[in-house]
Amino acid sequence: MYKQEIREIGLSIEEGTARVPKDGKYYLIKDERILGSYRSLKKAQARYQEIVKETGYKPKRGDAERKSLAEGAIEDDLLKRDIGWWSPRPRRGGPYRH
């Protein structure tokens, strides 16, 4: 699962989410409408950046940025738990394990 978004302009790249087909492609979504699909994340991100420039969007600094980072960390933890990758505590001598 992958999701990159700018909520303020309604733009996202999604793969494996509930809003897009589960076919391994990266979908570019603007205002709830799929604009295109890409086999590589790099190509999807290139078009994503073009759209960001076209809109003239400038990211805000400060509280909004910190909130976004915190929300992303929470979403990452929930996803890791869902796919069985997350462990509540690390074990010595190796990677996280169940």
Contacts of residue 5, defined as CB under 8 A and 6 or more positions apart, other chains included, come to 11, 12, 13, 14
pLDDT value at position 60? 79
Q: What is the pTM of this model?
A: 0.62
Share of the chain above pLDDT 70, in %: 62
pLDDT value at position 41? 96
pLDDT value at position 8? 93
pLDDT value at position 18? 93
DSSP letters, the chain, are -EEEEEGGGTEEEEESSTTS-SSS-EEEEETTEEEEEESSHHHHHHHHHHHHHHHT--PPPSHHHHHHHHHHHHHHHHHHHHTT---SSPPTTSS---
pLDDT in tens, 18-66: 999 999 999 999 999 999 999 999 999 999 999 999 999 988 775 455 5
pLDDT value at position 61? 72
Tell me the sheet residues that pair with 27: 14, 37
